[in-house]
Amino acid sequence: MDPSASADRYPALAPQRGMVLGTLRRPDGGVDIQQVTIDWGEPLDRAAFTRTWRAAMARHPALRTSFLMHGDDGLVQVVKPAVEPDLRWRDPAPEDFMSADRFEPFDIGQAPLFRVTVLGGARAVLTFHHAIMDGRSTRLLLDEVIGGYAALRAGRP
């Protein structure tokens, strides 16, 4: 049985097709891979941080999206009903972390196409494929995650 059978499917947009095909040609090329670093100023609460990202994943289909070649439809977006976030904790961070992380390939057919690595407990690096988010949506997502995390830490929903 097709593991994406329970997922929603949508045609990929033209810019997504170009980005995804470029990644398929050179998976470890680092092209169309974006990185954003956030310095939290204090050690992150692992449980609250994980809960915040799980809530964001549940709210935003783009975070549960992967891509698949599908017969006559060509490249399609596959949105799964649920996906666990790829959260990693590293202490301390290797000196060349940012470069190594950017060139670590994403499996374009497997969501999530993003990962969050917490370095030294207080700095988070969001690394994602540009086919799922642009600059504006990234900013909106991070504002939501930062606010949600702060609310959880303050005991609010």
- The answer to whether the pTM exceeds 0.85 is yes
Q: Which of 42-51, 84-93, 108-117 has the lowest mean pLDDT?
A: 84-93
The per-residue pLDDT for 2 is 56
Q: Please give the residue that has the higher pLDDT: either 157 or 1.
A: 157
Nearest to 117 by CA among 138, 139, 135, 94: 94
Which pairs from 38-42 meet CB under 8 Å and 24+ separation? 38/123, 38/124, 38/125, 38/126, 38/142, 38/146, 39/122, 39/123, 40/122, 40/123, 40/124, 41/122, 42/122
Nearest to 88 by CA among 76, 70, 73, 100: 100
The per-residue pLDDT for 109 is 97
Distances (CA, A) of 49 to 89, 137, 151, 157: 11, 20, 11, 13
What Rg value do the Cα atoms of the chain yield, rounded? 16
- The mean predicted confidence, pLDDT, of the chain is 94
Average pLDDT, stretch 141-145?
98
Q: Please give the residue that has the higher pLDDT: either 23 or 6.
A: 23
Average pLDDT, stretch 66-78?
92
The per-residue pLDDT for 1 is 46
Nearest to 101 by CA among 82, 84, 73, 125: 125
The per-residue pLDDT for 6 is 80
